[in-house]
Structure 1
């Protein structure tokens, strides 16, 4: 914004703050604004990109990714879940929620870049959800997930570094 306005970072912050108060910009977090007039036209994929930018590093996962892959009957509207290394956090704007769940570094894998955003593979998204659920940090509706759509060999391989509690839960759910 500073470059576009031809000023300093400080003047850009003041300008963004003023436009935010007028309703021209939507403030998602400190120094992160979106034009209000195009907010309603954003697609799911554009919100995935925004989710990746709001907290770096992060990737789309859990039910958001499973919904993207068509593996769950739950269609999440205006709700985007991501896995992060930094911290668990929640950002809200105009009825849209961006949720971040912190996981340990050794579990931060199993994602790919797709259409300019990072998203978990289908098996990793499921594993992230079960891992968080097994420790009471995530509500998981197992009845809405088609567990037959996962590659069991991939699931077994991905669960190796995870705690025994998570491994047992995965084996129970997938009948491995």
Structure 2
């Protein structure tokens, strides 16, 4: 019965308070129930005090997985190859991997069969994203700038052959590069010569 109520709730994501209210049990009982359901595979723990039923997780759309990435690491925004692929700028697409830019830390977290990767950038480079369909995602030029920035520092690997440079506003890319550093700017200049950008 409890499982049925969770699976058929209109809510996609649950906190302990949500579980307590939905099942008409105490907060302490809800914690025990959540732990037991996670161990049995009925619930999936996204982060501390945030869960989703396993059956609902299987049905999530791409935009909802992007929301989860935003939930896991706050603040963060979808970027790099995930954003470039989303906007059809790159043919490089990682299976079951969602990449984001973060202000706090670089980390990887697996939720069920999806790997969420977060790459830290400095405060002055944390920009160029929009709120789209309830998730934050880098605009194409910023996703590309993030890729160049992290690749130039040896913290990421970008397949530049997969990028359609004609779809990018290079003036906008240049404006983002000004907030990077001398290493990234030199690396970007070499890329411009190599790909005749």
What's the TM-score, normalizing by structure 2? 0.83
Whether 2:73 is the aligned partner of 1:55: answer yes
**Residue ranges of structure 1 left out of the alignment (5+ in a row):** none
Match in the other structure for 1:112: 130
Structure 1 residues 105 and 81: CA distance shift in structure 2, 3 A: same
Contact 2:46 2:68 in 1 (8 A): no
Match in the other structure for 1:66: 84
> Whole-Å Cα distance in 2 between the matches of residues 33 and 114 of structure 1?
23
Whether 2:50 is the aligned partner of 1:35: answer no
> Whole-Å Cα distance in 2 between the matches of residues 30 and 57 of structure 1?
16
Match in the other structure for 1:100: 118
Report how many residues are paired. 176
Whether 2:175 is the aligned partner of 1:157: answer yes
Whether 2:20 is the aligned partner of 1:5: answer yes
> Whole-Å Cα distance in 2 between the matches of residues 107 and 18 of structure 1?
42
> Whole-Å Cα distance in 2 between the matches of residues 34 and 4 of structure 1?
10
Query: Which of 110, 135, 141 lines up with 2:153 in the alignment?
Result: 135
> Whole-Å Cα distance in 1 between the matches of residues 28 and 125 of structure 2?
38
**Residue ranges of structure 2 left out of the alignment (5+ in a row):** 1-15
> Whole-Å Cα distance in 2 between the matches of residues 85 and 53 of structure 1?
14
Match in the other structure for 1:14: 32
Contact 1:57 1:84 in 2 (8 A): yes
CA RMSD across the alignment: 1.6
Contact 2:20 2:27 in 1 (8 A): no
Structure 1 residues 9 and 136: CA distance shift in structure 2, 3 A: farther
> Whole-Å Cα distance in 2 between the matches of residues 103 and 10 of structure 1?
39
Higher gyration radius (CA): 2
What's the offset of the Cα at 1:14? Answer: 2.1
> Whole-Å Cα distance in 2 between the matches of residues 161 and 8 of structure 1?
50
What's the TM-score, normalizing by structure 1? 0.92
